[in-house]
Chains A and B, each alone.
Chain A
Amino acid sequence: MTDRRTFLRMAIMGTAGLLVAGCDKISQSSWGPKVLGKAQGLNRRVQALLSPSSAMAKEYTEADISPTFHPNGTTMPDTPEYQALMANNFRDYKLKVTGLVTKPGEFSIDDLKKLDNRTQITRHDCVEGWSAIGKWQGTQLSALLDHVGVDPKARFVVFHCLDNMDEDTPYYESVDIQEARHPQTLLAFDLNDKPLPVSNGAPLRLRVGRQLGYKQAKYIGSIELVDTFAKIGSGNGGYWEDQGYEWYAGI
């Protein structure tokens, strides 16, 4: 009986194992990920058709806010630059705006608060699968873009962050101009009516209402408007994108 059970277990594990091993070969090949990746382009195009670019992410009520907002990724940037800013409670913090803009500049949190602000209670969906709901207050990115004037050549807004991932690789992310101008795209400085905690990205983080967590760059140091990702990181538009994740994080 035990023998039969062992045999059955080995047979199931063996079959599954062979299949998984075959798939691993494909995953590590040069052509496999390219073929599989075709689906991701389809996701982006079809989702833009089904869910128009103007569609708004659902906004929740105060009662829906989750008791905790799980901090993921970096929770304490260790660069001297960040540590110095933190020591002074971010009073010396200035957001730099560079690249394809007519008026590059530097903005303190107070400067940003003078531009159009928005408060929204939205859900955060991590690529890992979990969700949290928080109340965000921040400057609408569109207001900042209008303030600095966007060069018509610019296609993407890149967020350079103050936290280093592995070995001096700063986190970075990007969205296209359309997503940057969406009313729910914020440079958030408050979470749940309090200044953004360090673990959640103080003093400034990105909120994009309809994309996954890795798009929501924390510890933003500067914003750069570009027409191509070619010269940034490994050229895929974001830290996790350079590790094989999709630039389009709507699914």
Chain B
Amino acid sequence: MTTENVIVADAQIIAPPAPAKSKRLVYRHSLPIRLMHWINVISLSLMFFSGLQIFNAHPSLAWGNYNNPDKPLLSLEAREDASGNLVGITRIGKHEFNTTGVLGVSKGPDGTPIARGFPSWLTVPGPGWLSMGRQWHFFFAWIFVLNGICYIGYSLARKHVQRDLWPTKSDWRGIGKSIADHVRFKHPHGEEALRYNILQRLAYLIVIFVFGIGIVLMGLAMSPRMDAVLSPMVEFVGGRQAARTIHFIIAWAFVAFVLIHVFEVLISGAFNQLRGMITGYYKVDVDPVKVAGPEPVAVIKEAPHD
């Protein structure tokens, strides 16, 4: 053992490793953050799928406090064509699109086309079953809310929000470069990767504090019992149907965020990123200037960057 070590040490003295190959593992995400991240993945997914099931009971959106069946903002409808076939129509304002097969009309349990807003492969449960969709939705709503409260509390207490998410003046100055890097899919691999860039900071802050809190409040705004105390907020956003519409829009905004988030993970080193969120350890290239010390340490324990 000892001899081997000496040989390794000698080898390094003779030929120091190329800077590009020198990497270190950083403890990036603490255990609570990792746990809360994956709990969030599960609860958000199930709330989305069961939410579409609930939406299917009235696949139409309106503004204000009540529905005007003739003037929906958006609706997923089914009509019969001249030969009696069901046609799925998606209406957005005055515009109509034929979306047969996916929206408005899609395959039922026995394979024949039936009228339903979103298709069965996007809803929990698969078949139309409003009461069960509500069970799933409310169960995971509690998990989402409690998990979210824990996350915000932990992140504020550990200064994760203040240190890692709140943009600094220099972050703001780098916004042009950050946008340019993102559109060219350029990602840092060195120490810089440990620091969230301005777009990441803004995205996370908006998702947590605008989408997260907003979707919960708009969900509560749909509860008639809660409206006995929340009606000023409900009227402020434009009425209960407006709250339902905003709830729906934020749900899809979450989907857009998740798609971009997963895409960024895939192109910035999927394995490394996943390891970071599962084990906590994230590998970065060591800055060549800093490899001055005689012994490159494999694992550096430090406060998680989350």
Which A residues form the contact surface with B (CB < 8 A)?
13, 16-17, 19-21, 23-24, 27, 33, 35-40, 42-43, 47, 50-52, 55-58, 60, 64, 66-68, 70, 123, 125-133, 209-212, 240, 243-246, 249-251
Residues in B neighbouring A131, C-beta threshold 8 A:
65-67, 240-241
Closest-CB distance, B14 to chain A (whole angstroms): 49
Would you list which residues of chain B between 218 and 267 have a CB under 8 Å from chain A? 222-231, 234-235, 240-241, 244
**Residue of A16, A127, A243, A246 with most chain B CB atoms under a 10 A cut-off:** A16
In the complex, what distance in Å separates the CA atom of A58 from the CA atom of B46? 32
Chain B, range 112-170, C-beta contacts under 8 Å to A? 120-127, 129-132, 134-136, 138-139, 141-142
CA distance A39 to B45 in the complex (A): 17
Given A51-B228, A66-B66, check contact A24 B125 (CB 8 Å): yes
Q: Bound state CA distance, A82 and B130, in angstroms?
A: 30
A23 in complex: contacting residue of B60, B125, B130, B141, CB < 8 Å: B125
Number of interface residues of B (CB under 8 A): 48
Contact between B226 and A126, CB atoms less than 8 A apart:
no
With A131-B240, A245-B131 as contacts: A21 and B126 at CB distance below 8 Å: yes
Please name 15 pairs of A and B residues whose Cβ atoms are closer than 8 Å in the assembled complex, sorted by A: A20-B125, A21-B126, A36-B136, A43-B138, A47-B223, A50-B226, A51-B230, A64-B65, A66-B65, A70-B67, A130-B241, A131-B67, A131-B241, A212-B224, A244-B131
Whole-angstrom distance between the alpha carbons of A250 and B134 in the complex? 13
Q: Chain A interface: which of B49-57, B80-88, B176-184, B293-301?
A: B49-57
What is the CA–CA distance of A185 and B130 in the complex, to the nearest angstrom? 26
**Residue contact B57 to A251, C-beta cutoff 8 Å:** no
Contact count A vs B, C-beta below 8 Å: 149
CA distance A54 to B132 in the complex (A): 30
The reply on B68 being an interface residue by CB < 8 A is: yes
From A19, A33, A243, B49 is in contact (CB under 8 Å) with: A19
Question: Which B residues contact A (CB, under 8 angstroms)?
Answer: 45-46, 49, 54-55, 57-58, 60, 62, 65-69, 120-127, 129-132, 134-136, 138-139, 141-142, 222-231, 234-235, 240-241, 244
| Docked pose: A145 CA to B123 CA in angstroms | 44
Smallest beta-carbon distance B233→chain A, Å: 11
- The interface residues of chain A lying within 8 Å CB-to-CB of B130 are 127-128
Q: How far is the CA of A174 from the CA of B126 in the complex (A)?
A: 30
Partner of A57, one of B125, B132, B228: B228
Q: What residues on A are CB-neighbors of B69 within 8 Å? A: 68, 70
Q: How far is the CA of A123 from the CA of B234 in the complex (A)?
A: 12
- A-side contacts of B241, CB under 8 Å: 130-131
**Are the C-beta atoms of B136 and A16 separated by less than 8 Å?**
no
Residues in chain A near residue B129, CB distance under 8 A: 27
User: Which residues of A have CB within 8 Å of B123?
Assistant: 20
Tell me the complex Cα distance, A37–B142, Å. Answer: 12
Partner of A36, one of B139, B229, B234: B139
Q: Given A27-B132, A35-B139, A39-B139, are A51 and B226 also a contact pair (CB < 8 Å)?
A: yes
Specify which chain B residues have a CB less than 8 angstroms from the CB of A245 in the assembled complex: 131, 134
Measured between beta carbons, the chain A residues less than 8 angstroms from B224 are: 57, 123, 125, 209-212, 249-251
What separation, in Å, do the CA atoms of A75 and B139 have in the docked complex? 33
Q: Chain A: which residue is nearest B123 at the CB level?
A: A20
Which residues from chain A contact B62 at a C-beta distance below 8 Å? 130
Chain B residues whose CB sits within 8 angstroms of the CB of A128 once the complex forms: 57-58, 130
Q: Which 9 A-B pairs have the closest CB atoms?
A: A250-B225, A129-B58, A55-B228, A58-B231, A66-B66, A128-B57, A244-B131, A36-B135, A251-B223
CA distance A126 to B224 in the complex (A): 10
Q: Is the CB of B121 within 8 A of A55?
A: no
Complex Cα spacing A126 to B241, Å? 11
Q: Which residues of B contact A52 (CB under 8 A)?
A: 229
Q: CA–CA, A131 to B67, complex, Å? A: 6
Contacting residue for A42 out of B136, B142, B225, B231, CB 8 A: B142
A125 touches B240 (CB 8 A): yes
What residues on A are CB-neighbors of B138 within 8 Å?
36, 39-40, 43, 251
Nearest-neighbour CB distance to chain A for B61, whole angstroms, equals 9
Smallest CB-CB separation from B140: which chain A residue? A39
CA distance A51 to B1 in the complex (A): 70
**Distance in angstroms between the alpha carbons of A244 and B240 in the assembled complex:** 25
A64 cross-chain contacts in B, Cβ below 8 A? 65
Minimum Cβ distance to chain B for residue A177 (Å): 17
Q: Which residues of B contact A40 (CB under 8 A)?
A: 135, 138
CB-defined contacts of A55 to chain B, threshold 8 Å? 228-229
- Of the candidates B123, B135, B139, B240, the one having the most CB atoms from chain A within 10 angstroms of its own CB is B135
Given contacts A211-B225, A251-B225, A251-B226, contact A123 B240 (CB under 8 A): yes
A37 CB, min distance to chain B CBs, angstroms: 6
What B residues does A244 contact at CB under 8 A? 131-132
- A210 → B minimal CB distance (Å): 5
Chain B contacts for A56, CB-based, 8 A = 228
Query: Do the beta carbons of B227 and A210 come within 8 Å of each other?
Result: yes
- In addition to A37-B139, A50-B226, 6 A-B residue pairs with Cβ atoms within 8 Å of each other are A17-B121, A23-B46, A24-B125, A42-B142, A123-B65, A128-B130
